Chain A
Amino acid sequence: MILSNALLLGLMTALFLTLGYLGVPVAFALIAGVLVGTAFTPITLQSMMAQLFNGIDSEALMAIPFFLLVGELMTSANVVIRIAELSQALVGHVRGGLAQVTTVFSMFFSGMSGSSSADVAVLSRTMAKPMAREGYRPEFTAALIAAASTIAALVPPSIMAVVYGAIGNVSIAGLFLGGIVPGLFIGFGLMIYCYFFGPRGFQRPRATFPQLVTAGRAAALPMMIPVILLGGIMTGWFTPTEAGVIAVAYILLIVIPILNPAHLRNVPRDFVLAGMIYSLPLITIAAATAFGWMLAYLRGPIVVSGWIGAIAGDSAILTMFCLVIVFVIVGDFIEPVPAIIIFMPVVNALTDQASINPVHMGVVLIVTLAFGLITPPYGLALLMASKFLDVRFSGALKASLPIYLIFFAAIAFTIFLPEVILWLPRHVFPESVGCFKSPTGPGYICP
């Protein structure tokens, strides 16, 4: 080898970041880094091309198109409005008014889309104008929408959890269930923040019980989607991929024909657009897999896990704390999906070394990466919200700063209270967190 491993690692990473920040698409910047790195090793470029294929050759990743299609169909068919109206009936009267509605709407929609980007787009298109009309500062609205959209990265059907589970060989069902508590933590945290510190907003009269029933009934069909997704997976009937396709079939055969039959003629167009959209994260996953493979070949994970191991020893808390710092830094610069793939060997090594439950570690890191979606310089959700609301990124960032405290609290909560995070997986799907059936009787034995 002409260059030392450390130098090659540095070269690949610098090249990827430089090209990425200049404006080369992430997938191609990653591939360029891999190709240049490979040229200095005995590995053939042909085998690196095979890694692109191997990167997406995973059954679990096949769930991603369906989750994105669910979001596309729900948005395109205008069904999401019913969920916004239900949210308004539930919390429109609370101090903060539409800010509360936005947060609750995001909590509901997150259970269907699995993607923060989709959430930002939907929330911007449905909530931005009404909030502006009622006098909310657009910077505050952008910050709130971006923060609320991160819930989609935590709760099922989180695409980040699918990728983490597929690449790290961790139970996706366990990650889904483990993410619910931090997702609710952030959701309720945002509601409390809006109540005490946000603009007062226009408070509507409390919805009457019949109004609540009417809104609930109108939203009942779309609200079944999270039940289908999670229920199918938890009962063991379906894999995440199959649950995704059942949800798509449910929307096509029941939700759209009943709620918006005129939209049926647009369904082929939805498939065309979603067909292109799903390739975007997946080609990035393919490229990041090749990049991660090269990092592993150059023994990068061993070096990094050695550093962290030297600081943290066998302490689970310290190990998680170090990884959170690494992921906060990494998440500030690159997309969560490539970050997960590239650093998975390091995470796996340290999880074993410190005897941390893999689901717990996954939830901690996913919460951390979700936080990265609203931090500079590359806070994707905040960037998107700023763009859609036509506000300066710096203004939206300033409005986000108090919200960071909620995320710090959420990260600390997930690190220090594994029993709370793992409670739901242990009780609903014990196998997902390594429990096994007791050989002597009913019940499970959990490590």
Chain B
Amino acid sequence: MTAPIVLETDRHLKWPAFDRLEYALMILCGICLTGFTLSTLIDVVTRESGHPLLFLQEVTSTFFTYGVFVGASVATRRNDHLFLSALTEKMTGATRRFFEVFNRSVVLLVGLFMVWFGWQNVITGLGSFRMPSMLPMSYLYLGIPMCGALVALFSLEQIVNGLRNGFTPIIGDGPARDVSAGAAGDIGL
């Protein structure tokens, strides 16, 4: 059994129209990790063979950085982020509804701050350049507002759908994220 690329958990909080976006972002995560792996590997091989390619380090860090910000944005829709606790999930009724909306509003606001102030960084970055490509730093800083925009979008999606359908998971609402149902399952010990 392999894990699905678009997660079915919390379907009641999702617009089906955004599934394609989640899919595309997940594929982008894979591309970033593949690019990061290949560029690091080629970097090692060329350096050990005495023909180092300087630009590879820039390529590596670009894939790495974008992988982090793309992954963080799609993880918001999948509810895959690291959590300290979810006291809100133990609440019921109007209190729960209030705090579910409040939590996501905090994430939404943080996302909007990332867009606004991250964009200012992008503008500032036009004046400094990365070696050896001499491209402006802006192209690297762009990951922050892009991530912020997606985080805000997915938070809004969850707030609207949560207010419409409720925040409590609906029974039979997609398979749970259960690692114990993985490939190994039973090793026959």
CA distance A29 to B100 in the complex (A): 14
CA distance A357 to B81 in the complex (A): 35
Q: Is B74 an interface residue (CB 8 A)?
A: yes
- The answer to whether A284 touches B110 (Cβ under 8 A) is no
The residues of A that contact B64 with a CB separation of less than 8 Å are 56, 62, 65
- Given the known inter-chain contacts A24-B103, A27-B81, A124-B180, please indicate yes or no for A32 contacting B65, CB distance below 8 A: no
- Mask: chain B, 123-157; 1 = CB below 8 Å from A; 0 = not: 01000000000000000110110000001000000
The one of B37, B41, B76, B187 in contact with A69, judged by C-beta atoms closer than 8 angstroms, is B37
Distance in Å from the Cβ of A115 to the closest Cβ of chain B? Answer: 12
The residues of A that contact B44 with a CB separation of less than 8 Å are 238, 242, 245-246
Q: Is B92 an interface residue (CB 8 A)?
A: no
B residues 63-77 with Cβ under 8 Å of A? Answer: 64-65, 67-72, 74-76
The one of A121, A276, A378 in contact with B179, judged by C-beta atoms closer than 8 angstroms, is A121
The residues of A that contact B2 with a CB separation of less than 8 Å are 76, 266, 269
Closest to A131 in B: B189
Distance in Å from the Cβ of B147 to the closest Cβ of chain A? Answer: 8
Q: Is A432 an interface residue (CB 8 A)?
A: no
- The answer to whether B88 touches A25 (Cβ under 8 A) is no
Chain B interface, number of residues (Cβ within 8 angstroms): 74
What total count of A-B pairs have CB within 8 Å?
231
Q: Is A395 an interface residue (CB 8 A)?
A: no
The residues of B that contact A242 with a CB separation of less than 8 Å are 40, 43-44
- The answer to whether B85 touches A20 (Cβ under 8 A) is yes
- The answer to whether B26 touches A282 (Cβ under 8 A) is no
- The answer to whether B29 touches A25 (Cβ under 8 A) is no
CA distance A388 to B114 in the complex (A): 35
The residues of B that contact A57 with a CB separation of less than 8 Å are 61, 65
- The answer to whether B81 touches A78 (Cβ under 8 A) is no
The one of B27, B65, B100, B184 in contact with A272, judged by C-beta atoms closer than 8 angstroms, is B27
Distance in Å from the Cβ of B8 to the closest Cβ of chain A? Answer: 15
- The answer to whether B68 touches A19 (Cβ under 8 A) is no
Distance in Å from the Cβ of A271 to the closest Cβ of chain B? Answer: 4
Q: Is A403 an interface residue (CB 8 A)?
A: no
- The answer to whether B30 touches A272 (Cβ under 8 A) is yes
Q: Is A327 an interface residue (CB 8 A)?
A: no
- The answer to whether B83 touches A25 (Cβ under 8 A) is yes
The one of B103, B180, B184 in contact with A80, judged by C-beta atoms closer than 8 angstroms, is B184
The residues of A that contact B183 with a CB separation of less than 8 Å are 75-76, 78
- The answer to whether B185 touches A125 (Cβ under 8 A) is yes
- The answer to whether B67 touches A245 (Cβ under 8 A) is no
CA distance A225 to B89 in the complex (A): 40
- Mask: chain B, 1-35; 1 = CB below 8 Å from A; 0 = not: 01101000000000000000000001111111110
- The answer to whether B41 touches A245 (Cβ under 8 A) is yes
Closest to A84 in B: B187
- The answer to whether B71 touches A278 (Cβ under 8 A) is yes
A residues 30-66 with Cβ under 8 Å of B? Answer: 31-32, 35, 44-46, 48-50, 52-53, 56-57, 62, 65-66
A residues 252-308 with Cβ under 8 Å of B? Answer: 266, 268-269, 271-284, 286
- The answer to whether A126 touches B37 (Cβ under 8 A) is no
The residues of A that contact B28 with a CB separation of less than 8 Å are 275
The residues of A that contact B55 with a CB separation of less than 8 Å are none
- The answer to whether B60 touches A62 (Cβ under 8 A) is yes
CA distance A339 to B11 in the complex (A): 34
Q: Is B175 an interface residue (CB 8 A)?
A: no
Q: Is A434 an interface residue (CB 8 A)?
A: no
Closest to A44 in B: B117
The residues of B that contact A50 with a CB separation of less than 8 Å are 121, 141
Q: Is B162 an interface residue (CB 8 A)?
A: no
Distance in Å from the Cβ of B67 to the closest Cβ of chain A? Answer: 6
The residues of B that contact A335 with a CB separation of less than 8 Å are 82, 84
- The answer to whether B86 touches A26 (Cβ under 8 A) is no
Distance in Å from the Cβ of A332 to the closest Cβ of chain B? Answer: 11
Distance in Å from the Cβ of A213 to the closest Cβ of chain B? Answer: 19
CA distance A246 to B42 in the complex (A): 11
The residues of B that contact A286 with a CB separation of less than 8 Å are 68
Which of A25, A53, A80, A271 gathers the greatest number of chain B CB atoms within 10 Å? A25
Distance in Å from the Cβ of A397 to the closest Cβ of chain B? Answer: 14
- The answer to whether A19 touches B186 (Cβ under 8 A) is no
Q: Is A417 an interface residue (CB 8 A)?
A: no
The residues of B that contact A98 with a CB separation of less than 8 Å are 189
Distance in Å from the Cβ of A295 to the closest Cβ of chain B? Answer: 18
Closest to A48 in B: B117
CA distance A81 to B184 in the complex (A): 7
The residues of A that contact B88 with a CB separation of less than 8 Å are 22-23
A sample of 7 inter-chain contacts (CB < 8 A) reads: A22-B102, A49-B117, A62-B61, A127-B189, A130-B188, A279-B71, A280-B80
Which chain B residues have a beta carbon within 8 Å of chain A's beta carbons? 2-3, 5, 26-34, 36-37, 40-41, 43-44, 60-61, 64-65, 67-72, 74-76, 78, 80-89, 99-100, 102-103, 106-107, 109-110, 113-114, 117-118, 120-121, 124, 140-141, 143-144, 151, 178-189
Which chain A residues have a beta carbon within 8 Å of chain B's beta carbons? 17, 19-29, 31-32, 35, 44-46, 48-50, 52-53, 56-57, 62, 65-66, 69, 75-76, 78, 80-81, 84-85, 88, 98, 101, 121-122, 124-130, 238, 241-242, 245-246, 248-249, 266, 268-269, 271-284, 286, 333-335, 377-378, 388-389
Q: Give the 5 A-B CB pairs with smallest separation, nearest first.
A: A279-B71, A275-B29, A25-B81, A272-B30, A275-B33
